[in-house]
């Protein structure tokens, strides 16, 4: 599947079609969406930007406001001013924040692996985890070891050679697993989700125990539904690429009937 590429963004699919913007998780890049980008672009306009600190934007530091600006630029420049937003993990918290600020630009919201609300006890846990990762990855030795583990994880997935190659070549960024902690911790993502008036879908992998603990409450706050992907973990779009793509495709198609 041929894609247009701007600085740190992949764009595929018919310009006049419903737009979908995909926000990746920490450590990975826009290329983690390769299976979804290529399959969904047969029907939709698909836009996948790198977030700050990752991929072609690895020279920038991540913070929430920079992430919001990247999403907004992707929507305005490539998606015709509004889109369905799909975000996984860090990307899920980011698209939730974006939707609460700019609901008119969000046609629908798919929140993946991000239904744990980082308040109260999880506030402290999120801050501590981020601090430990930031400290550990100051060591180049630790960072390289984490990159090797990340690449091994990708190779063990059932991906096409093309998608595996582009994910690996785009890089693994372990230090960015700890960077977002101070910005995400303490923000009531569930309240942000509740403030968004549009359609919402909460998606988790069956084995993603932490996120699944809050999935029902997350969905209830938004009036949305929950989909659990069988035999999948946190990064469920790569654990079960075709099943995940089908979930997103059905959600976007159903928007026409609302």
pLDDT of residue 2: 47
Vertex 86, ends 85 and 89: CA angle to 5°? 130
Tens digits of residue pLDDT in 67-83: 999 999 999 999 999 99
Distance from C-alpha of 222 to C-alpha of 95, rounded to nearest angstrom: 14
Higher pLDDT pick, 1 / 43: 43
Q: Which of 56-65, 126-135, 152-161: highest mean pLDDT?
A: 152-161
pLDDT of residue 175: 84
Mean residue pLDDT of the chain comes to 92
CATH classification code of 4-119+188-257: 3.40.50.1820
Helix, strand, coil percentages in the chain from 3-state DSSP, rounded to 5: 50, 15, 30
Pair 20, 45: CB distance under 8 Å: yes
* pLDDT average, residue stretch 17-40: 97
Name the residue ranges covered by the structural domains of the chain: 4-119+188-257
* pLDDT average, residue stretch 133-156: 88
Tens digits of residue pLDDT in 84-138: 999 999 999 999 999 999 999 999 999 999 999 887 777 666 776 766 767 777 8
pTM of the complete model: 0.94
Tens digits of residue pLDDT in 216-258: 999 999 999 999 999 999 999 999 999 999 999 999 999 976 6
Tens digits of residue pLDDT in 157-214: 999 999 999 999 999 998 888 787 788 877 899 999 999 999 999 999 999 999 999 9
Report which of 244, 252, 200, 245 is spatially closest to residue 222, judged by C-alpha positions: 200
Beta strands 9-12 and 4-6 are: antiparallel
Beta strands 45-49 and 9-12 are: antiparallel
* pLDDT average, residue stretch 11-36: 97
Distance from C-alpha of 60 to C-alpha of 190, rounded to nearest angstrom: 28
Vertex 192, ends 187 and 194: CA angle to 5°? 140
pLDDT of residue 1: 44
pLDDT of residue 74: 97
pLDDT of residue 5: 56
Residue 196 CB-density burial (10 A; 0-12 exposed, 13-18 middle, 19+ buried) = buried
Distance from C-alpha of 78 to C-alpha of 72, rounded to nearest angstrom: 10
Distance from C-alpha of 250 to C-alpha of 254, rounded to nearest angstrom: 6
Question: How many Cα atoms occupy the beta-carbon half-sphere of 213 within 13 Å?
Answer: 6
Report which of 13, 17, 59 is spatially closest to residue 33, judged by C-alpha positions: 13
């Amino acid at each position: 599947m041929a894609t247009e590429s701007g600085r740190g963004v992949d764009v595929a699919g018919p310009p006049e079609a419903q737009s979908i913007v995909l926000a990746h998780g920490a450590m990975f890049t826009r290329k983690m969406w390769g299976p979804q980008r290529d399959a969904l672009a047969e029907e939709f306009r698909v836009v996948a930007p790198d977030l700050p600190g990752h991929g072609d934007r690895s020279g920038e530091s991540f913070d929430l406001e920079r992430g919001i600006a990247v999403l907004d630029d992707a929507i305005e420049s490539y998606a015709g001013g509004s889109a369905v937003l799909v975000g996984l993990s860090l990307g899920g918290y980011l698209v939730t924040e974006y939707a609460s600020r700019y609901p008119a630009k969000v046609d629908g919201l798919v929140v993946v692996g991000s239904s744990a609300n980082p308040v109260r006890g999880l506030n402290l846990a999120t801050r501590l985890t981020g601090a430990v990762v930031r400290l550990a990855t100051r060591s180049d030795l630790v960072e390289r070891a984490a990159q090797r583990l990340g690449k091994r994880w990708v190779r063990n997935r059932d991906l096409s050679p093309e998608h595996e190659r582009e994910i690996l070549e785009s890089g693994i960024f372990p230090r960015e697993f700890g960077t977002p902690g101070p910005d995400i911790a303490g923000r009531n993502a569930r309240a942000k989700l509740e403030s968004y008036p549009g359609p919402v879908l909460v998606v988790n992998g069956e084995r993603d125990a932490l996120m699944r603990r809050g999935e029902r409450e997350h969905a209830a706050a938004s009036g949305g539904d929950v989909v659990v992907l069988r035999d999948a973990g946190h990064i469920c779009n790569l654990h079960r690429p075709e099943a995940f793509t089908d979930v997103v495709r059905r959600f976007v198609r159903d928007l026409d009937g609302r």
